[in-house]
Amino acid sequence: MVAGLGETHREKLEALGIRSVSDLARTSAGDVEGKAKGIGATLATSWTRQARVQKAGRHQILARWAPPEQQFEISYDVEEFIPGPFVYLHGLLIRERTGARFGAPDFTPAALGAYQPVCADANDVESAVWARFLDAVKRIEQLGSYLVYVYSSHERTTLKRLAEKYGGSDELERFVARFVDLHEVIRRTMVLPTDSYSLKPVANYAGFRWREETPSGSESMAWWNQYCSDPVAHAALRDRILAYNEDDLRASFAVADWLARVE
């Protein structure tokens, strides 16, 4: 239940008599470091600090972070059917840098920006969706200076795969060069009282809420599969996928805004 502590290391800690979050929170890094193979100073410090923060229920700031100054901010997230693989949705949420930030007194959901999805239909092939996405990236270049928020390395890896398969563009290379990985920023600057640093628990801690009760990428894949089985009968599922993706993008903006103001 401690973020970043996997099963193998958990078994090693149990052998040292550390069997709960509370046990680990009461343990100093020096009491763990070097006591088992593979547990050095970095891991010992990280785990004990994480356990103390989780028990306290309040975040700890390691370093301050401020977003790069650009005219526009873009939140980007893909939805992918893994058995394919088939990227059926490139989600883009675009806002001006001067708008109200999430959590500010004058904030409204509209301030999170304009949703511009590039989404497949049931009969689309991936290459056609990719071509439309490249066109969207080309149009983004005309906005002015911008940065792109992603959450983890998945989007970068996916774009590399698609560009190698179908061809890229100079605009795409510049788009990827502007990526700001919020997951990496959080792990470098914050310790959160969450049992995971994935987007859902982090954004929930920052105060953001999804419209779906149990949002997940696997749900999106299931909806896509069902939609494709009968696009007419299940047309509403495509809209549901879009709403879920838009909320993921909004969540990334919410996390970025929270990180910039947190005390």
pLDDT of residue 211: 87
Q: Please name which of 19, 28, 234, 203 lies closest in space to residue 122, comparing C-alpha atoms.
A: 234
Domain match, 76 and 27 both? no
pLDDT of residue 41: 92
pLDDT of residue 217: 83
Domain match, 233 and 144 both? yes
Contacts of 197 (CB under 8 A, 6+ apart): 3, 4, 183, 186, 187
Domain match, 77 and 46 both? no
Q: What share of the chain is helix, strand, coil (3-state, %, to 5)?
A: 50, 15, 35
Residues 126 and 86: their CA atoms lie apart, in Å, by: 6
The fraction of the chain above a pLDDT of 70, given in percent, is 100
63 within a domain of the structure (yes/no): no
Domain match, 36 and 89 both? no
- CA-atom Rg of the chain in angstroms: 21
User: Would you say residue 215 has pLDDT above 90?
Assistant: no
Per-position DSSP letters for 163-202, written without gaps between them? HHHH---HHHHHHHHTEEEHHHHHHHHEE-SSS--SHHHH
Residue 4 banded pLDDT, cuts 50, 70, 90: confident
Q: Find out whether 224 and 240 touch, Cβ atoms under 8 Å.
A: no
* pLDDT digit string, tens, across residues 24-82: 999 999 988 888 888 899 999 999 999 999 999 999 999 999 998 899 999 999 999 88
62 within a domain of the structure (yes/no): no
CATH number for position 20:
1.10.150
- The overall average pLDDT reported for the chain is 93
- Residue-number span of the structural domain to which 194 is assigned: 72-261
**Rounded average pLDDT over 175-179:** 98
Domain match, 173 and 233 both? yes
User: Number of structural domains, the chain?
Assistant: 2
Domain match, 15 and 96 both? no
Residue 208 banded pLDDT, cuts 50, 70, 90: very high
